Amino acid sequence: MSTSSNISTYVERLSDALAAAIANGRVGAPRFVRWIDRIPVSESPTDAITSGIEVCNRVFGSTPVREYIHGDDALQGTLHAVWDNGASAIISAGPAGSGANTGPEIMLLGSSGAVYFDGAQGGVATVELVGRG
């Protein structure tokens, strides 16, 4: 399996786990996502941000009505997105550096709770924990 397929599968599992946390009422109505992705130097920040926004679209149930993008796509990129229900997300991606772990760090705030996920600290196991009720 290629690296991009592994990443896609990983992000899909993460998306499923976050959706399950929302469906199980663990956070109430989702209001804000902070997504910081530490990527290998060979990957594009834009690709990582695209994956993040796809997950946020699923969390918030639609696409954003406004997006503000900053960065150079070589070293770093940041997106601030706002949905029509007032929810928002800040998604930032940049190289992890030599020998550092890669993966997204995510904070999902809802109207009555929060979920934290740190992919750079062993995200495969914590993806499953995010979805537990």
Question: Closest Cα to residue 26, out of 82, 123, 108, 105?
Answer: 108
Could you tell me the two tokens for 126? 């914590």
The pLDDT tens digits for 71-124 are: 887 789 999 999 999 999 999 999 887 777 777 888 899 999 888 887 666 555
The mean-pLDDT minimum among 20-34, 50-64, 107-121 falls in 107-121
**What is the reported pLDDT for 91?**
96
**What is the reported pLDDT for 3?**
40
**Whether the predicted pLDDT of 125 surpasses 60:** no
Q: Which residue has the higher pLDDT, 7 or 109?
A: 109
Q: What percent of the chain has a predicted confidence (pLDDT) above 70?
A: 82
Dihedral pair phi/psi, residue 12, rounded to 5°: -65, -45
Q: What is the pTM of this model?
A: 0.83
Q: Give the model's confidence band at 13: pLDDT under 50 very low, under 70 low, under 90 confident, else very high.
A: confident
**What is the reported pLDDT for 64?**
97
**What is the reported pLDDT for 65?**
98
Asked if 83 and 62 count as a contact pair (C-beta separation under 8 A), the reply is yes
Mean pLDDT for 37-58 is 90
**What is the reported pLDDT for 53?**
94
Asked if 57 and 65 count as a contact pair (C-beta separation under 8 A), the reply is no
- In the chain, the domains with their CATH numbers are 3-130 (3.30.360.10)
Dihedral pair phi/psi, residue 54, rounded to 5°: -65, -40
